Amino acid sequence: MSSGHAHSHAPAAIEPGKERPLWIALVLTSTFLVAEVIGGIVTGSLALISDAAHMFTDAAALAIALAAIRVGRRVADAKRTFGYHRFEILAAAFNALLLFGVAIYILFEAYQRIKLPPTIESTGMLVIATLGLVINLVSMKLLAAAKDGSLNVKGAYLEVWSDMLGSLGVIVGAIVIRFTGWAWVDSAIAVLIGLWVLPRTWVLLRDSVNILLEGVPSGIDLTQVRQALAAMPRVDSVHDLHLWSLTSGKTSLSAHLVSAKGNADEITRTATKMLEDKFGLHHTTLQVEKVPCKMASGDHRF
């Protein structure tokens, strides 16, 4: 019996010293949040308050992302042998739950206002929403480079993106109210913002929970991985196959390969290279056995 362990990690999603764009986005968002809350109260616009609520979650997401990046860099210790990488996913899940709560509140408040529309100061609403749109566009530009490498940063980017659409909606609503006097449009825009955000928040929460449950990462077919391993020369069968992510961009695989006549070291090297080249898996733990171990009898599927 022989085992092999290989890891050729891809670069971290946010390298040390590259957090400046997140800090700038956080300062911009937090500053404008205060102005938007005040503006929403003064103008009586629920759409602005809805947008301010989303701005708050934007700021929270950015703050959590920065905290998660710092915590995630802590080295592994005797109690946490995998380090603190998983903190990023906990932060992303919390962020999604927070956004769910905000969206539900806005939908409820909009329902209340539709029955009794308040007076809306459309000019102030338009000016504030336009400034908010500019802030959102700048923040999106700052976060775009890192969003594909980190689920947590992706969550922050998603919230800024959805808030940008919310700002556009508020601008449209302000113009309509300005020329028609239809105050109910303000509540309608708030509802549309909430309905737009909810499905995307669900996707973020679903992906976070999948990682926390050590599910197979999206974009990788476990059956194809198993078939590729089983098709290797001198590999008789595959069992105890597991594929999971520790955090964004850190996917791991472990498996037992049965080979009655093959060279264990050669099979391990070949399998490791194949998994890297074909599936982009850089952290693998493979055990080569002459005969199936006890794990095989209880692992009928994988």
Of 189, 212, 235, which residue constitutes the final position of a domain?
212
For residues 173 and 189, membership in a common domain is answered with yes
For residues 134 and 39, membership in a common domain is answered with yes
In a domain, 14, yes or no: no
For residues 165 and 177, membership in a common domain is answered with yes
Domain CATH code at residue 262: 3.30.70.1350
pLDDT for 8 equals: 47
For residues 180 and 288, membership in a common domain is answered with no
In a domain, 182, yes or no: yes
Q: Is the dihedral of CA 282, 284, 290, 292 positive or negative?
A: negative
Q: Whole-angstrom Cα distance, residue 60 to residue 15?
A: 21
**Which candidate, 84, 57, 53, 4, places its Cα nearest to that of 170?**
53
For residues 293 and 189, membership in a common domain is answered with no
In a domain, 1, yes or no: no
Instruction: Give residue 198's region: left, alpha or beta (phi > 0; psi -120 to 50).
Output: alpha
Of 171, 195, 212, which residue constitutes the final position of a domain?
212
For residues 266 and 184, membership in a common domain is answered with no
For residues 247 and 184, membership in a common domain is answered with no
In a domain, 13, yes or no: no
User: Of the ranges 18-32, 56-70, 168-182, 276-290, which one carries the lowest mean pLDDT score?
Assistant: 56-70
pLDDT in tens, 22-71: 788 888 888 888 887 887 788 777 777 777 776 777 787 778 777 767 77
In a domain, 263, yes or no: yes
C-alpha neighbours within 13 Å on the C-beta side of residue 167: 23
For residues 124 and 53, membership in a common domain is answered with yes
In a domain, 15, yes or no: no
Mean pLDDT of the chain: 79
Of 183, 212, 241, which residue constitutes the final position of a domain?
212
Token match 């009586």: residue? Answer: 44
Question: Does residue 5 carry a pLDDT above 60?
Answer: no
pLDDT for 300 equals: 47
Domain that holds residue 222: 216-297
Percent of the chain topping pLDDT 90:
15
- Helix axes 46-72 and 20-43, enclosed angle (nearest 10): 160
Report the pLDDT averaged over residues 144-163.
70
**Which candidate, 128, 105, 139, places its Cα nearest to that of 24?**
139
Comparing 73 with 210, the larger pLDDT belongs to 210
For residues 153 and 69, membership in a common domain is answered with yes
Q: How much is the pTM?
A: 0.68
pLDDT in tens, 210-256: 888 888 988 889 999 999 999 999 999 999 899 998 877 788 999 99
For residues 33 and 127, membership in a common domain is answered with yes
Domains contained in the chain, number: 2
pLDDT in tens, 218-230: 888 999 999 999 9
